[in-house]
Structure formats: structure tokens, C-alpha cells
Chains A and B, each alone.
Chain A
């Protein structure tokens, strides 16, 4: 098999006395789509926070293309090719839809401060290129009609889409999606599945997906990891995993989730 693009090697995170994640290992290969599932509070989002440098792991290593990235600043990790969406949407709310995407291009802009103050052609042209690129991306997501609106004025479903578009604007080789289907109706969920498949073919990132909706997980993920109280309790293709007794037990302890886990 090919070299993994992202490798987590026995990563642990401790908050005071609480072990949020313990010895989590994962290999993500280019073009792969892996799911992380588990009951609420199992430590899924913490893993995303560790990968993106919001927290620095208390033990273990995170490697991107074989290079250690734990301990680096978040923006460096983002520029290196990992970007993410958030469970509770975090757009730049009073910026326009277009500017949300343009901000994510920032790390790759070449004009300097002097160009800006002079207002010279290099600055003007590159700004125009950025707008074109952003516009292109928005068109792909069906957001071009609302490009000049404040992002907070978008309906919920479109905000989720915009967040994914913004994450893709960083040109990621690894894309982390944190519960993208949360709060969506069945129709929107079908659309989302289409969208993620489309992203996979067009932009070819490796995708790591946290999701509660088993429908999404089953139709997208080649394999899943199941977390409970920070521990990895199962791993494998979605259909097999959802029948494992340990997984059922973990979910049945959680009154909200049994239907989605069993079904």
C-alpha cells in the first residue's frame, strides 16, 4: 500500500484528570475516506483539535507526509495541507460569502505589503485572480448567487456548504469534516453525500469524517474507527463494525443513539 499521508501514532490527550483521547492511532492514505464514530463525548472532536494544532497532544506523534506536525501553530498546519470544518459552524459571520473563501486563500497570496500600499497592478491583478478562484469554488457549491451576501444570512444548509468550500480553498491534502450532516433533513443528507463524493473525485483530498448519521457513514466511509471514552474499541468496514457487541454496548449506554447505531 502507498505511504500514508496522515499518521497518528498512539496520540493521547489529557485534560487534568480526564483522558479525552488515549493512544489513538490512525493511518490515512491518499484518496481514502475514513470515519470516526462513537457516542457523544467519546473524544472525536478532540482528535480533530489535536490534528489541527488547537491542542498539542500530551503523548504520541502526528505525522503529515512523514513529518511531525504536533506542536506546530494551527495556521502552519493549515498551510501544510490540513483543513477542517466545525461541528458548530464557525464562519466569518459578518464577512461576505466570497470573502470567507478568499480569506482561506491567504496563505498562498504572493503580493507584499508594499504592493498593497502602492495599489499597483500586481496587487490588483492578484486580487482579481483570487476573486475568480473563489467564485469558481462557490459555483461548484451552488453559492455563486449569494456571493456578496453576509455569510450569516445564509440558511443553515448553505452555511455548512460554505464551510466546506472554505476548507477546500486551503487546497488541503487532508480534509477533516466534523459532523457535516448535523441538523440536516434526509433530503439535505442525500445532497451532502453527493457533495462529499464529488469533492473526493474533483479535489482528491483524503477525508476524515466524524458523523453520527450512520447512513452517511455507510455510504461514504471505506472503514471506520469507533471511539468510546477516548479508547478505540473497534475498527473496520462500517457494516461489520455496527454489528460488533462492544460497539452496540457503547451506543446502548447512550439513550440518544441506539437507533442510528443499530440501523
Chain B
């Protein structure tokens, strides 16, 4: 083989690899955004209540069904659908907290966790009973334009998901860091009783936390509907667990950690799918979770816990 021919081949291979990497980075960003949006809800609720809200993944699923209803039955436009879905999901989240979690705030923590499991199963089975088990097609809310650039393929949907998620997360971060309510949320994660002594209305803060978390999960539900255009009543389980892993990876209770964890998990999963049989996908996610928990249980951004004698 002539020298320059060899180099040419090598060069060509490099750009192909480069293109593949950019393509995968886009896919990873899309998946990571979705995980991050859901992980935020887990993390924020854990921060204020020390409760793993096992129902959160199912709220994400319900969110996408609500959006389906608004978009198809009521025929609202894309922006209205998103806003109405967020509002409805926020209402649902606040309602769940009021009915199921608030009476248990002073009960043993295990009761609250069981209740959360119960709420999750309820949302699944209720949706199943109402809409049936078969997957449903999700409408294209926006005109879908496919962009091809030097072999890299992306779409308006994908770019919207990535950008809109980013905007939402920056907004949330600013809210938590800058506003009085955000400050109270962060204070709650240090000491619930102390903060209540300082005259903060805890119930209000908790409600706001749930509203924010569930509305973000609902947006993630819309995004999943757009990106993988079918939804079913069981989709909340696996995606929910994955998002939960993301929250733990980032350090549960930390808002920025949850975002970082979402992107990290998205990237790892895309890499795993590209290089391994697809049946290993879930296994790898959970293996990562185990590894993180055993090596650095407080996650990358969480604060370590110390024992006191």
C-alpha cells in the first residue's frame, strides 16, 4: 500500500470517528437532559424531606399522558401544551404531597417510603386501567426538521430538547441560588427542625419543591414522547430508576449534582449501547450505581455523612 494512501485511509478513519463522536455526544446530551430533568425532582424532594420519592418516575409517565391529552384532544399548540402540562403535573405533585406524604412527615421514615412506593404503583395501574397497556404514538408538537451536516444527523426535536432542558435547568439553579424560597429550600436540606424554628413556612416550601420537581419531570415526559415517539404506562419505571441513579451519582440532595449526574449517566449509557449488546444497557447503569455507592456513597456533589457518638 502506498504511503500517502495509507495516510489517507487513516485520516478518513479519524474524521469518521470524530463524526461518530459528535453524533454520540448529541445523543448523550439528549438522553442526559431527560435523566437530569427527572433526577432534579428526586434530588430536591430528598433535600427537603429526606424522602426518596419512588413515585417520581411515574409522575414523569403521567406527565407525558397529560401532554398527549392536551395536544391531541384539546389541540393546544406546542407552547401551550408544555405550559399546561407543567401546571397540571405541578398540581398533581402538590396534591400527592398533601394527601399521601404530609400526614406521614413525623411518622417513621419507612412509612413514607412505602407510601411513595404505593403512590407509584397507583399511578401506574391507574394509567394502565384508563388508557390500556398498548403503547400510544406521541404527536409531533413541532415540525420536525432533520439536519444533516457532514454525516452528522440531528433534528429540530433533538436540539429543542437539549437547549430547552438547559434553559430550564439554568433557571432552576438561579431560582435555588438567588431567591428567598430557594434559600429556604437549601436551608431545609440542612436541618428541617431548625428552619421551622426560624419562622419559615415549611409546608409552603415543600409544596413549591414538589411543584417544581414534578413539572420538570412532566417536561421530561414530553421530551421522551417527542424523541421516542411512543409512550406506555410502564415507561416511568425504568427511566425513573435511571434518573434516580443519576441523582445518586451526582449526590442526592444536590441540585447541580443531579444535573451533572443526568449527563454523566446519559453519556455512559450511550457509550455502553454503542459498544455492547443492548441487553447489557440496564445492567451497566446499575453496576455504576453500585460502584458509586460503595466507593463514594455521597456522590460527586453530595455532602458526606458522619457518625456521631
Contact = CB atoms under 8 A, between A and B. Distances in A.
A45 B309 CA distance: 9
Interface residues of B, number: 1
Interface in B295-309: 309
Interface in B271-309: 309
A49 interface: yes
Nearest to B306: A15
A49 B309 CA distance: 8
A63 interface: no
Nearest to A90: B309
A45 B308 CA distance: 12
Contacts of A86: 309
A86 B308 CA distance: 12
Nearest to B308: A88
Contacts of B309: 45, 49, 54, 86
A113 B198 CA distance: 53
Interface string B252-269: 000000000000000000
B110 to A, nearest CB: 14
Interface in A59-96: 86
Interface string A150-178: 00000000000000000000000000000
B237 to A, nearest CB: 34
A49 B308 CA distance: 11
B309 to A, nearest CB: 5
B35 to A, nearest CB: 35
A57 to B, nearest CB: 15
A32 B309 CA distance: 26
A49 B307 CA distance: 12
Nearest to A86: B309
A63 B108 CA distance: 42
A158 B168 CA distance: 57
B307 to A, nearest CB: 9
Nearest to B307: A54
Interface string A189-231: 0000000000000000000000000000000000000000000
Closest 4 CB pairs of A and B: A54-B309, A49-B309, A45-B309, A86-B309
4 contacts: A45-B309, A49-B309, A54-B309, A86-B309
Interface of A: 45, 49, 54, 86
